[in-house]
Amino acid sequence: MSIHEVFMPALSSTMTEGKIVSWVKSPGDKVEKGETVVVVESDKADMDVETFYEGFLAHIIVEAGETAPVGSAIAFIAETEAEIEQAKSLANSGGAAATPTSSPEPVAATASAATPALASQNGSNHKEGRLVASPRARKLAKELKVDLTTLQGSGPYGRIVAEDVEALSNKGKQPAPAPAAPVPTSTPVAPPAPRTPAPAPVAAAVPGQIVPLTTFQNAVVRNMVATISVPVFRVGYTITTDGLDKLYKQIKSKGVTMTALLAKAVAVTLQKHPLLNASYSDQGIVYHSDINISVAVAMDDGGLITPVLQNADAVDIYSLSRTWKSLVERARAKQLQPQEYNSGTFTLSNLGMFGVDKFDAILPPGQGSILAIGASRPQVVATPDGLFGVRQQMQVNITSDHRIIYGAHAAAFLQDLAKLIETNPQSLTL
């Protein structure tokens, strides 16, 4: 019997269950190897899931809108049409395993992040306006430098396949003209307009009603509970920001954000304090080769995600700001790739933009430190010449894993961070 189970994949290291956003294929549809069959919502993003097998989607076990544990069967794929009924009988008899048996062979893999799927009125789960291409086509397009948006796919639902990319490349990367005689040439097919995902509706609070947590919110719950067992300590520091504020006003028009400036300042300081960029493991201290700054972002529909500015110490401030803007937009559209939210080595949480003066942040699992940043406000201070003056100051508080980082380490880091921001902020633009 050639019937294969499609299992709920683990789309992130913290994912324990996934929600079916939509089925791209319907029962009885032909599926090709590497073709997207279902869109799954993980604890961080929506991801396309592709099949490793060729055949027919015989039976769907977990319908759209339902959740299933990682590793549980969500559908059957039959290699032949004759086996479709057999797969249905297997499902009806309870033959589908709720959890995988000993090392099951994988049936599906994740592809690129996708926007939330919208079911059409006829019940189809195909997502209008989304660029659909096979993994081989995407790889080939990258190698041949072909813009996929210029192509009209020849596969199901307009899916772009490798042959479409090859055809365009062979024609000098121009859409193939219609094979007509002298005159009319085929009208170029305009690429689909980019679709801006509508924000998910937020359920209105009704007194006495219990509103279930979203997938994102459940992920936050699991992560926060996991930190309870970690012994942490907190250290506060006051930083004068007059120089940083002046720099920000000078380069704000060039697209630079304060978040990028703060991330850059922290990353540059971490070069001198690798222990603050490290994390604990059972084998010892893990010193990370890169300085990747995670920055906490609240999701519009609940939950929290931490997009990562990778190699923030080595990237110029203008590129870093552009990257941050893109990360935030894609985070709120649930389009981030896993490495864009799970590769952080140090986290920033900035509630100062909301006017918060001071707060303590909870240490994320797998990291050694998180820095909480308060608002910058004018304060009356004593100047070195014995007079009084007004300075812009902000309160920062670092939370660190006391298993590997001690108070003196955190204090030295904060001193150097303050020195950089107060005396040499211009270096952040170099």
Catalytic residues: 402
- How far apart, in whole angstroms, are the C-alpha atoms of residue 324 and residue 328? 6
Helix crossing, 258-270 with 407-423: angle to 10°? 130
Q: Is 28 helix (H, G, I), strand (E, B) or coil?
A: coil
8 Å CB contact between 412 and 273: yes
113 token code pair: 């992040």
User: Can you read off the two tokens belonging to residue 427?
Assistant: 């270096």
In our burial notation (b when 16+ CB lie closer than 10 A, e otherwise), range 78-97 reads beeeebbebbeebbeeeebe
Partners of 408 in beta bridges: none
Burial class (CB in 10 A: 0-12, 13-18, 19+), 124: middle
Contacts (Cβ under 8 Å, ≥6 apart) of 405: 275, 276, 278, 368, 369
> 224 Cβ partners below 8 Å, 6+ apart?
362
CB neighbour class for 290 (10 Å; exposed up to 12, middle 13-18, buried from 19)? middle
Dist CA 409 CA 28 (whole Å):
62
Give me the sign of the Cα torsion angle 276, 281, 282, 283.
Answer: negative
CB 154 within 8 A of CB 161: yes
Q: What is the C-alpha to C-alpha distance for residues 224 and 43, in angstroms, rounded to an integer?
A: 14
